Structure 1
Amino acid sequence: MIRGASLRGFVGLVEELGGDAEQFLERFSIPPAALTSETEVVPITSHDLMLDAVAHDLRCPDFGLRLAARQDLGILGRLALAIETSSTAGEAVECVSRFLFVHSPALSIRVEPDPWGHREVAALTYRKDPRESPYSPQATELGVALFHEVALALLGSLVGLRSVELPHQPLSPVSRYTEFFGADVRFGRPVAALRVERRALDAEFGSADAAIRRFAVRYLEVHHTDPEHLVSTRVRRALAGSVGSTQPSIAGVARLLAMHPRTLQRRLAAESTGYEAILDDVRQELALRYLGTTDLPLGQVAAMAGFSGQSGLSHAVRRWRGVSPSEMRRRLRGT
């Protein structure tokens, strides 16, 4: 999932481009109210597929960059306060790295060694977990561009920015990227990243406030649990790796996690969920992914999403989205 606030500015931009924002939101089953909510979340696969579809349908290859220019740190909600009151850029990045799961568990930001081997340079990487959602060029450009815009707003300038790296090939003329980032942009790279001089991480924030930051961090610690520490996350990943190849069972997953099935049920209940609910969610994610990103026959989609036959897929998709698998594919693919 991802917070609906990630789409702030979406409606106005789509309308400026001559599109119908409500139609796109309905097509990808995203509630319009989620865009202005501080707490509502939406499926990240639907979120990303919609960005790619809008860019294609409205012939706006730099849609992600344009949307990032309309956003600011505020889309991160309560995490924003902890970031802007940090003392240095490095401390802010550490905070984002630790708590970005509050915005979306599928996304991560890290400080890593320079992929080009320069010791004085660090890579601020931006990743989406492929186990959670397929790669999206527009969503990646939105995330990296917003990362850049926030750093620029907090520091005033990015003198130490060496280059920007993107895993895909250019969607727009290269000059559009260099104009936006004010630096060299390299494509087809292993991971999306901003390459900055390490000294830039020591840059101090004018908005630093240690007392407020401690309060903000404590709030995040108390009110949000890192999904990596949840049993439900381990169950979800176990199912995501086995659905479509073996018949899933709670006994099999419990054995994989080295616990008794009843213990697993109690642990999941304590996290306000259950095995069947997680299995249904995993099947939905897989089915929508294959319907939206491949031309596989429906029978094959059904098998890969863990259904015994195409009729099982049809019943499930109608229950999830109120339409047939073929209609769902048409909506997601725009064909």
Structure 2
Amino acid sequence: MIAVVPSIRAAVLSPILRWMVGRGLPVEEALQEAALGAWVAEDADGFAPILNSAELLRRLGRTEGPDVFCRIGASTSFSEIGAIGVIALARRTPRLALHAIVDFMPRHSTHERIAVEDTPEGIRFIDLWGLGFDQEALHYVQQYVAALAQAICRATAAEAPLFSRVEIAPHPTAGLAHLRPCFGLVEAATEPKLVIDIPARVADARLKRPAGDVPREAAKLSGTGGEVDFVQSLRWTISAIMGAGSISIDDVAAAAGTSPRTLQRRLAAHDVAFSDMVDEMRRETALRLLGSECIAMGDVAVRLGYANASALSRAVRRWTGETPRAIRAKALAGKRVRRKATGVGGVQR
């Protein structure tokens, strides 16, 4: 029986998508092939299904080369990846940053755990997933995690090599040779975990970003781990898949790493109908998007997984008794009233 759908903050995909856009690669097509909506990483505090995200990495590795995540990491600032980046880079050194990530990890991912061990030579970073990735997917996932850890170290003035040793799952056909120009000494892992040794001269080097307290908005971010329940993880998953096409229970079951029948049984145990949950998520998303004049009606329909604007219009009428245009007009009129009622400096008149 599944406890929660494996989920991770979608902001970790932002450097990958930015890199793809910069090279003119078909981003929306790649996301759709991995059963992810084109806007999956738009909300930095939102969540994406881990298995779908790993499939995106696998497909990119196959088309762009087995070292692609080293290349992506080389152009990545850790601040790109949302809350976990903000929290890490608020620390003075990579050592303190990685220890902070350990504390935040339960609120970042449901099935990834890391440990940081202080050693006489520096620190040892260990990344472990509670999922049965195959060898190819595990290699790409671990390579990307290592590249992000390197991005933290690169934010110092420390000279390369930034790692003294990396123990990682080999690629099933390419092995490890393609990682040595990026990470230096690389060895094949004997267990399904990533191990990185970072020398003290790097671990204790000052990060270029000034140290400070964790921003208040980051400190109050919603949690995952023990705080998330099965229904909430399903809501995240439906939201992430929405926009990749029609939302089927087969797609959601695949994201959960289970069968549609098992998923249906779990839904029944929670007295939840799958179709009702999809409808609820579509309604919430539609009303939010219709409140913005920056998104065309046709794009709202696509983001909700509808075939066209007519299908969206029918759904909105069913939910509210009004047309999408009427909903948008009311929302924009309300914003104008609030703006007029606000004086200089945002003070309410």
Show the counterpart of 1:138: 140
- CA separation in 2, counterparts of 1:86 and 1:107? 22
Structure-2 change in CA distance of 1:171 and 1:77 (3 Å): farther
Over residues 144-173 of structure 1, what are the superposed CA-to-partner deviations in whole Å (9 max), with x where a residue is unaligned? 112112211234335563211102346646
Give SS of 1:100's match. helix
1:184 Cα offset (Å): 0.5
- CA separation in 2, counterparts of 1:9 and 1:136? 19
Structure-2 change in CA distance of 1:302 and 1:225 (3 Å): closer
Show the counterpart of 1:29: 35
Unaligned runs of 5+ in 2: 1-6, 240-248, 267-272, 279-303, 306-349
2:57 matches 1:51: yes
CA contact (8 A) 1:4 1:34 kept: yes
Give SS of 1:35's match. coil
1:89 Cα offset (Å): 2.4
One-letter amino acid of the structure 1 residue matched with residue 124 of structure 2: A
Give SS of 1:32's match. coil
CA contact (8 A) 2:86 2:218 kept: no
2:160 matches 1:162: no
Structure-2 change in CA distance of 1:91 and 1:153 (3 Å): same
Match of residue 71, structure 2, among 66, 70, 88 = 66
Show the counterpart of 1:184: 185
- CA separation in 2, counterparts of 1:76 and 1:276? 23
1:54 Cα offset (Å): 2.7
Structure-2 change in CA distance of 1:171 and 1:107 (3 Å): farther
* Identity rate, percent: 15
**Mapping of 1:149-228 within 5 angstroms?**
149-158=151-160, 161-169=163-171, 172=174, 174-181=176-183, 183-190=184-191, 191-198=193-200, 200-209=202-211, 212-213=212-213, 215-216=214-215, 218-221=216-219, 223-228=220-225
Show the counterpart of 1:258: none
Structure-2 change in CA distance of 1:8 and 1:172 (3 Å): farther
Segment drifting more, 198-207 vs 1-10: 198-207
Over residues 7-49 of structure 1, what are the superposed CA-to-partner deviations in whole Å (9 max), with x where a residue is unaligned? 2243464467785322121222322223343233221111111
CA contact (8 A) 1:62 1:171 kept: no
One-letter amino acid of the structure 2 residue matched with residue 105 of structure 1: T
Structure-2 change in CA distance of 1:14 and 1:79 (3 Å): closer
Give SS of 1:49's match. helix
Show the counterpart of 2:336: none
- CA separation in 1, counterparts of 2:255 and 2:175? 31
- CA separation in 1, counterparts of 2:201 and 2:17? 38
CA contact (8 A) 1:170 1:187 kept: no
Show the counterpart of 2:113: 108
- CA separation in 1, counterparts of 2:99 and 2:112? 14
Structure-2 change in CA distance of 1:277 and 1:203 (3 Å): closer
CA contact (8 A) 1:287 1:305 kept: no
Show the counterpart of 1:120: 121
Give SS of 1:161's match. coil
One-letter amino acid of the structure 1 residue matched with residue 87 of structure 2: A
Show the counterpart of 2:300: none
2:26 matches 1:20: yes
The CA RMSD measured in Å over matched residues stands at 4.1
Structure-2 change in CA distance of 1:160 and 1:26 (3 Å): closer
CA contact (8 A) 1:109 1:124 kept: yes
Unaligned runs of 5+ in 1: 237-272, 292-300, 309-314, 323-335
Q: TM-score, normalised by structure 1?
A: 0.61
Structure-2 change in CA distance of 1:208 and 1:9 (3 Å): closer
One-letter amino acid of the structure 2 residue matched with residue 207 of structure 1: R
One-letter amino acid of the structure 1 residue matched with residue 221 of structure 2: H
**Higher relative contact order (Cα pairs below 8 Å, separated by 6+ residues):** 2
Give SS of 2:167's match. strand
CA contact (8 A) 2:106 2:225 kept: no
1:186 Cα offset (Å): 0.8
Moved >6 Å (runs of 4+): 15-18, 274-278, 280-284, 319-322
- CA separation in 2, counterparts of 1:67 and 1:19? 13
Q: Which has the larger radius of gyration?
A: 2
Structure-2 change in CA distance of 1:284 and 1:11 (3 Å): closer
- CA separation in 2, counterparts of 1:283 and 1:27? 14
